[in-house]
Amino acid sequence: MNLMPVSELLRLGTAQPIIRWGTPVLHAPARPVTEFGSDLQDLLADMFATNTAAHGAGLAAQQIGVDLAVFIYDCADEVGTQRTGVVCNPVVDRPEGVDRQLVDYCEGCLSLPGAYTDLARPDFSTCRGNDQYGNPIEITAGGTLGRCFQHETDHINGIVFGDRLPTRKRKQLYRDHDEVSDQYTAHWPAC
């Protein structure tokens, strides 16, 4: 597979099983992406296919068991515009001081499917990194996309959003997942 624009990556690929919280690769920092060749393109195509099959907003490579610092996104920004792309080696900047506005929003994770809870995060974030070709990128967004940047970069750093919750709320999140876990086989969303 040659280097491709996102529109091509969206057409190709095969949905992979999404691994669950507790799997070691989800709780350790990922390796930086240093090669932007065909192996990365294949991975990205599979990530887009997996995210689409799971009806997700974004997906980190670690969620399909690959220890690389890359995520894909396919969700709306603060004005409702659907945005789709790739960020390799992400770093997220969150507003500080008077510019920091926290928003409680119901959040979930494809690696703990069927469980959701409110989590306060800044309303906007700026994500810097590289695109699928290795070119530097910087994107500032709010809405689901701004939250996605924060959530997926947490994955890259070995953090699941449950790590940001108080103990009682985290335990409830696990109970909520357990109630519906039979709907999500070990191979979900791949069939």
The closest alpha carbon to 154, from 90, 95, 101, belongs to: 90
Question: ∠ CA(174), CA(50), CA(184), 5° rounding?
Answer: 35
Q: What is the DSSP letter of 68?
A: B
- Known active-site residue 152: yes
CA atoms within 13 A on the CB side of 100: 7
Place of tokens 């940001």: 164
**C-alpha to C-alpha distance for 130 and 14, rounded to whole angstroms:** 23
β-pair partners for 185 = none
Q: Which residues contact 126 (CB under 8 A, 6 or more apart)?
A: 92, 93, 138, 139, 140, 149
Q: Which of 8, 96, 152, 179 is catalytic?
A: 152
- Active-site residues, by number, are 152
